[in-house]
Copies of this chain bind each other. A is one copy, B any other.
Amino acid sequence: MSGAPSIGAAAAPIGVFDSGLGGLTVVRALRGAVPDESLLYLGDTARVPYGTRSAETVVRYARSCSRELVARGVKALVIACNTVSAVAVEVLAAELDLPVLGVIEPGAEAAVAAAEAVGAAAGALPKIGVLGTQGTVLSGAYPRAVARLSSRLEVVAQAAPLLVPLVEEGWVEGEVPERVVERYVDPLVAEGAGVLVLGCTHYPLLAPVIARVAERLAGRPIPVVDGAAATARRVAEWIRTERLEPAPAGAAGTLELLVTDLPASFARLAESFLGRGEAPVAQIDLR
């Protein structure tokens, strides 16, 4: 969450990018929070997943994605990918002349709020458990973001590299996802996590399984926080506070989807993500 003050035409779309499909959970939230705004989404499906790659490679890929969206005239950039947000928000905000928002700061804020609510009810603050990709966990971005908000909350984190492939394959219910999720959630609950943060925009598709497994392991319901909604609220706030120019009055927000691999299977999965009629999907090359 940083970047220069608002520039660009009001009617320009907000650019949203992710390594693949996951960022569509942020698109869904944005369409709810700022329905007038047009959105231009880029999924780097030819290079997904980012979460197992080094920070250097993720920064390189993030630069090429954001260059593409800027060249297409977006008025702001939402990084709908935790891995990129963890290692590249500052770099992109410094290099680009438009507002740049990542998902980690809003997600951490929502997690802190949930932990404080649980603590108020239970009489003791729970730890915040983060599920994320290898890249996100190694970056330490969530513990840093939480520490900026509260000195009393402890964060435990678990890398969960198989969850993105499960979601990208559409395998989000049944015994295998359940067992894989258990393997990752178990150490978090064992370490005392009383709130779970979905530290990857793919994971909301697994939220029902994650919530069920966490409740079974902990013996009580565990709130599951998804940063997508918090990120969308932050964009709405930017518009309210004039950090970002709103779409012209009466505008109907459009949605356009770009991908770097062939769009057929993406379009199919995108519909299940967005829970609505189709948006056009086009394939592009990134340099």
Residues of A within 8 A of B (CB): 45-47, 52-54, 56-57, 161-162, 165-166, 168-169, 171, 175-176, 179-180, 183, 260-262
Contact = CB atoms under 8 A, between A and B. Distances in A.
B162 A57 contact: no
A32 B158 CA distance: 39
Contacts of A180: 176
B162 A261 contact: no
24 contacts: A45-B53, A46-B47, A46-B53, A46-B57, A53-B261, A54-B261, A54-B262, A56-B262, A57-B260, A57-B261, A57-B262, A161-B165, A161-B168, A161-B169, A162-B162, A162-B165, A162-B166, A162-B169, A165-B165, A175-B179, A176-B176, A176-B180, A176-B183, A179-B179
A18 to B, nearest CB: 16
Contacts of A169: 161-162
Taking the full assembly, how many copies of this chain does it contain?
2
Nearest to A171: B162
A135 to B, nearest CB: 11
A168 B52 contact: yes
A186 to B, nearest CB: 12
A56 B45 CA distance: 13
Contacts of A162: 162, 165-166, 169, 171
Contact of A179 (B45, B57, B176): B176
Contacts of A168: 52, 161
Contacts of A47: 46-47
A183 to B, nearest CB: 6
Contacts of A52: 168
A14 B262 CA distance: 32
The 4 closest A-B pairs by CB, nearest first: A54-B262, A165-B165, A46-B57, A57-B261
Contacts of A262: 54, 56-57
Nearest to A174: B183
A266 to B, nearest CB: 10
A239 B150 CA distance: 67
